[in-house]
């Protein structure tokens, strides 16, 4: 089982490929008659207003690790204060043309499902079925001790009661910078109040795989099943910097299956790609869905 590790690598700036017509023709010829599984990363959601970590234009970001979250009440308070603001932005986000294109490919019978590294639930909002959320999702909360669970909406009501006016005060200071994992960049969190698990008093956290945390064995197994069932792998919007995504590319390549990569900038999986398109997912995928 691999952990989700931050490697601190970002793709170097590149110019997008300009001959999309040829790229679509090439991809279509490769996947024609094949059932395809998609592996998606943060780059597919940037057009929905959710930033990523490693695209050529992304600012440097330092996400919280599982070690920090579990070891320090101060870290947890700081995280939950940020999340109390940021999850609302993610909850309000809507699928873009790339998400809808994959949903159309599935309705047409060509896409078997989606393995996503994103926690934004946008594939589900777009109507895609059989979505494997490799890193969890922002909409659930669970206890690290007894596995008690609740929704992020219900927790928000409790946190708002404990911290009346907190969101309004922060918003009144001007624009806030939204981070990719359902939180925001804000420093004034010392007075924020958090709750513990109502069942056992344990630590609760979003049902999101933090950097350094193991992904669920059952989730990883389900993702590999999708890869094995499919005849080709389509990577959309992932730099494949972390092993949690790269392993599926290697598995498909090892099995002799075509690997298509659509991403801005270089990826760690480029050497395994049957075809690579350096461009924006929201521009390539809708054309691909129309071509099929």
What's the CATH code of the domain at 260? 3.40.50.1220
164 shares a domain with 270: no
Query: Residue 43's domain spans which residues?
Result: 1-8+18-50+95-135+215-292
State residue 17's pLDDT score. 74
Q: Which residue has the higher pLDDT, 145 or 84?
A: 145
Q: How far apart are CA 86 and CA 120, in angstroms?
A: 12
Q: How far apart are CA 12 and CA 55, in angstroms?
A: 8
Give percent above pLDDT 70 in the chain: 85
> Does residue 90 have a pLDDT over 80?
yes
- Residue 191 CB partners (closer than 8 Å, separation 6+): none
Question: Are β-strands 232-236 and 36-40 bridged in parallel, bridged antiparallel, or unpaired?
Answer: parallel
Give backbone dihedrals phi and psi of 125, rounded to 5 degrees, phi first.
-65, -30
Give percent above pLDDT 90 in the chain: 69
For residue 232, what are the β-bridge partners?
Answer: 36
* Residues annotated in a binding site for NAD(+): 41-61, 117-120, 237-239, 263-265, 281
Active-site residue, from 99, 135, 228, 253: 135
Look up residue 96 and give its two tokens: 């873009």
> Does residue 178 have a pLDDT over 80?
no
* Residues annotated in a binding site: 41-61, 117-120, 143, 146, 197, 200, 237-239, 263-265, 281
Mean pLDDT (whole number) for 211-229: 94
* Residues annotated in a binding site for Zn(2+): 143, 146, 197, 200
> Does residue 172 have a pLDDT over 70?
no
- Annotated active-site residue 135? The verdict is yes
pLDDT digits (tens, 9 = 90+) for 10-26: 455 566 777 899 999 99
CB-based burial of residue 65 (10 Å sphere; 0-12 exposed, 13-18 middle, 19+ buried)? middle
283 shares a domain with 242: yes
238 shares a domain with 103: yes
Residue 174 CA: distances (Å) to CA of 152, 167, 171, 183, 190:
25, 12, 6, 16, 19
- Residue 172 CB partners (closer than 8 Å, separation 6+): none
289 shares a domain with 197: no
Tell me if 13 is assigned to some domain. Answer: no
Sheet bearing 36-40, strands edge to edge = 131-133, 111-116, 36-40, 232-236, 259-262, 275-277
Please tell me the total count of domains within the chain: 2
State residue 1's pLDDT score. 35
247 shares a domain with 158: no
State residue 2's pLDDT score. 38
């Amino acid at each position: 089982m691999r952990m989700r590790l931050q490697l601190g690598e970002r793709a170097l700036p590149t110019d997008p490929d300009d001959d999309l017509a040829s790229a679509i023709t090439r991809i279509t010829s490769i996947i024609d008659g094949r059932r395809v599984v998609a592996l998606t990363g943060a780059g597919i959601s940037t057009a929905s207003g959710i930033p990523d970590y490693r695209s050529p234009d992304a600012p440097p970001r330092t996400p919280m690790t599982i070690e920090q979250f579990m070891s320090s009440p101060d870290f947890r308070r700081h995280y939950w204060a940020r999340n109390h603001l940021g999850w609302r932005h993610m909850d309000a986000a809507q699928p873009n043309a790339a998400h809808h294109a994959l949903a159309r490919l599935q309705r047409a019978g060509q896409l078997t499902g989606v393995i996503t590294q994103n926690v934004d639930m946008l594939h589900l909002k777009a109507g895609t079925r059989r979505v494997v959320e490799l890193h969890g999702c922002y909409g659930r909360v669970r206890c690290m001790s007894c596995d008690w669970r609740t929704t992020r909406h219900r927790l928000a009501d409790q946190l708002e009661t404990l911290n009346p006016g907190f969101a309004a005060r922060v918003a009144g200071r001007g624009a806030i910078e939204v981070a990719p994992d359902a939180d925001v960049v804000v420093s004034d969190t010392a007075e924020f109040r958090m709750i513990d698990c109502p069942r056992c008093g344990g630590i609760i956290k979003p049902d999101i795989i933090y950097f350094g945390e193991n992904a669920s064995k059952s989730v990883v197994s389900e993702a590999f099943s999708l890869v094995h069932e499919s005849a080709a792998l389509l990577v959309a919007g992932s730099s494949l910097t972390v092993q949690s995504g790269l392993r599926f590319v290697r598995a498909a390549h090892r099995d002799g299956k075509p690997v298509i990569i659509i991403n801005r900038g270089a990826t760690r999986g480029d050497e395994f790609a049957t075809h690579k398109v350096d461009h924006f997912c929201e521009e390539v995928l809708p054309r691909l869905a129309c071509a099929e």
